[in-house]
Structures are given as structure tokens and as C-alpha cells.
């Protein structure tokens, strides 16, 4: 039985420079799908403009990969964004079952480790929003955050996570693994 390989990323915030690096990582990883945890186009009023802020270029680059993308809505994502993006991105959450894992994917502004959605022991919460990579247990729930693609905080690297064969890996945009969780 073939296992699904997911690349999980969050918080592109309209940076074409880092969106391109993320798409290069996706190709390098040979993942089956890319799961985006929201905040795709707009940088938000609390953030400075990311490097090479070019939402129209991000739109074009991601629309070319529309069949590879799974996405949930971030707090900076709007209906106007959905009008220009060729893949669904307005759902507040998605439930993904892969390799005997049940993952609840959300942005993190509604549900997060301090306000969990209805999950069962052994489930996994995937969230972004904080721009800080995280791996922690809350009771029987594993809470995982890939950090930010374009505006990392707390001196964390720009990066993403890969899920394959039941293992999560946190990687820099250049592909260096800096944390693994079986």
C-alpha cells in the first residue's frame, strides 16, 4: 500500500520570493499534495511587507499548481482572494486521514492548542498563524505548526513540514531537516 506524502506550509503572505522557494521544495520533496494552512496573499496589518511582496505573482504560481493544493482559510484570507485563486481556500478547517492518522488542519486563529476543536486522543491538530514552528502534546492531542514560509518569528527558519510514513519533519525552505517527530 502506497503512503501519502504531504508538504504542509503556512503563512506565505503574498511573498512571491518565498512562494517560489516553497514550490521548489514541493518539487524536490516529490510530495503528493501541498497543504496550505492559510494566509496566502495578504500580509495583514500586524506584519511588515514580506520580501518581494507580489500577490498577483503568487496567485499565478499557485493557480498553476491548483490540482496539487489543499488549503484552509487564514485570518488574512478573504472572499476576494477566493475570486482570483483557482482552488478552494475558504474552509475554516479540513480533516485529512492519511497513513492511519486523523489530522485536523486549520489556520490557528480559531482553533489552536489553547482552544482545541473537538478531537479524540491520538488525533493531530495542524495549525499555522503564529509564524513559529511547534510540536507539543495537549492531553492526547498532538499539536503541530510548520512555522511561516515568509515571515518567521522568534528567530525560527522559513520553512515547512513534511508528513510521510507516519513521520513529521520540519525543514527549512532549502530542505534541511531541523526537527523530526515519529
In this prediction, residue 90 carries a pLDDT of 97
Closest C-alpha to 58, from 89, 23, 94: 23
What is the model's pTM? 0.96
Domains of the chain, start order? 6-92+147-181 (3.60.21.10)
| Beta strand 141-145 pairing with 167-172 | unpaired
Contact assessment for residue 169 and residue 151, using Cβ atoms and an 8 Å cutoff = no
Q: To which H or E segment does residue 135 belong?
A: strand 134-138
pLDDT in tens, the chain (182 residues): 568 999 999 999 999 999 999 999 999 999 999 999 999 999 877 777 788 899 999 999 999 999 999 999 999 999 999 999 999 999 999 999 987 889 999 999 999 999 999 999 999 999 999 999 999 999 999 999 999 999 999 999 999 999 999 999 999 999 999 999 98
Residue 169 CA to residue 1 CA, distance in Å, equals 21
Neighbours of 160 (CB within 10 A): 29
User: pLDDT at position 2, please?
Assistant: 63
End-to-end CA distance of the chain: 19
Find, among 105, 158, 104, 168, the residue nearest to 131 by Cα.
158
pLDDT value for 98: 84
Amino acid at each position: 500500500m502506497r503512503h501519502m506524502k504531504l508538504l504542509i506550509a503556512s503563512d506565505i503572505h503574498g511573498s512571491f520570493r518565498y512562494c517560489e522557494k516553497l514550490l521548489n521544495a514541493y518539487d524536490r520533496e516529490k510530495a503528493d499534495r501541498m497543504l496550505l494552512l492559510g494566509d496566502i496573499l495578504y500580509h495583514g496589518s500586524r506584519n511588515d511587507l514580506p520580501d518581494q511582496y507580489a500577490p498577483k505573482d503568487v496567485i499565478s504560481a499557485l493557480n498553476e499548481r491548483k490540482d496539487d493544493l489543499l488549503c484552509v482559510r487564514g485570518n488574512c484570507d478573504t472572499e476576494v482572494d477566493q475570486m482570483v485563486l483557482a482552488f478552494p481556500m475558504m474552509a475554516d478547517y479540513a480533516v485529512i486521514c492519511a497513513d492511519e492518522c486523523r489530522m485536523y488542519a486549520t489556520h490557528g486563529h480559531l482553533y489552536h492548542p489553547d482552544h482545541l476543536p473537538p478531537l479524540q486522543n491520538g488525533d493531530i491538530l495542524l495549525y499555522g498563524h503564529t509564524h513559529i514552528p511547534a510540536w507539543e502534546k495537549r492531553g492526547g492531542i498532538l499539536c503541530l505548526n510548520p512555522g511561516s514560509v515568509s515571515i518567521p518569528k522568534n528567530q525560527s527558519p522559513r520553512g515547512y513540514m513534511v508528513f510521510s510514513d507516519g513521520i513529521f519533519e520540519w525543514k527549512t525552505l532549502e530542505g534541511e531537516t531541523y526537527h523530526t517527530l515519529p
